[in-house]
Amino acid sequence: MKRALVLLLSLSVVAQATSVAEVKKKGVLVLGTDPTFAPFEFRGADGQFQGFDIDIARAVAKDLGVKLEVRPVGFGALMPQSVTSGRVDMALSAITITPERAKIVSFSAPYYRSAQVFIVKSGNPQKFGWPWNSGMKGKVIGVQANTTGQYVANDLLKPRGATIKVYDDFAAGLADVRAGRIAALIGDAPTVTDLQKRLPGQFQQAGSDLAAEDYGMVFRKNSDLVAAANKTLARLKASGEYQNLLNKWIVQK
């Protein structure tokens, strides 16, 4: 009870701008993101945040006439506490639109069609395939905490005998795949193609996609920033900039 009260108080103290007027007043749009998820959000060799989501967020800030401030947050804290508390004005982090999440935060229009897939070590001799009947028995499958990958694993893989290992950090899960400590990590499809580009010969997708999903930009419930973000998205699509961003970050060359 006491702890809940302290939490409530600290939340209300840090609650900040979440409306167009407030963002314009302070002159910055604070983006929350978990930057371990290339090509959507990651740190470049120079330490700067970059990726498809970062560029989209930058365009939203530009249209609002404010600066973008990128605040790195672990995915489990980002979705949804950082948003609901108002500590960030918006979140872009390859976040899948789901009906459960839409009850507590507001989503923009979908901006990217993605899928959940198995990421395994390249040349992994273990036979993976989907759907399985018994192939999951005794296998340890990694997921990132609070992600749709975790939900899919609990729904589909656990009942088939898999043990689910939960990581706060996506990169830690990848390290365990590489070291052979887990059979596979569930991740979003474009992360695999990106890994293959940056770290050739180390990772591959196994089996077919587990679930198709759409990403949305995330805001505090009913914020008018949703409409602003949708306007920017429509502008990017109409001008061809959206396609340029796809080519820059995601489309395989």
- Summarize as ranges the residues that interact with ligand ARG (CB under 6 A): 34, 36-37, 41, 75, 93-96, 144, 147-149, 170, 188
Rounded distance, CA 206 to CA 31, Å?
33
- C-beta of 130: minimal distance to ligand ARG in Å? 18
In the complex with ligand ARG, the residue whose CB is nearer, 15 or 212, is 212
Rounded distance, CA 36 to CA 108, Å?
22
User: 213: which strand partners?
Assistant: 114
Rounded distance, CA 107 to CA 61, Å?
17
Rounded distance, CA 102 to CA 84, Å?
12
Phi-psi bin for 240: left (phi > 0), alpha (psi -120 to 50), beta? Answer: left
In the complex with ligand ARG, the residue whose CB is nearer, 211 or 231, is 211
- Please check whether residue 162 is in contact with residue 136, taking contact to mean a CB–CB distance below 8 angstroms: yes
In the complex with ligand ARG, the residue whose CB is nearer, 18 or 144, is 144
In the complex with ligand ARG, the residue whose CB is nearer, 20 or 185, is 185
Report phi then psi at 122, rounded to 5.
-60, 135
- C-beta of 95: minimal distance to ligand ARG in Å? 4
- C-beta of 185: minimal distance to ligand ARG in Å? 11
- C-beta of 148: minimal distance to ligand ARG in Å? 4
In the complex with ligand ARG, the residue whose CB is nearer, 72 or 161, is 72
In the complex with ligand ARG, the residue whose CB is nearer, 36 or 135, is 36
- C-beta of 75: minimal distance to ligand ARG in Å? 4
- C-beta of 26: minimal distance to ligand ARG in Å? 25
Cβ density class 165-185: b for 16+ within 10 Å, e for less: bbbeebeebbebbbeeebbbb
**Sequence-distant (≥ 6) Cβ neighbours of residue 134 within 8 angstroms:** 160, 161
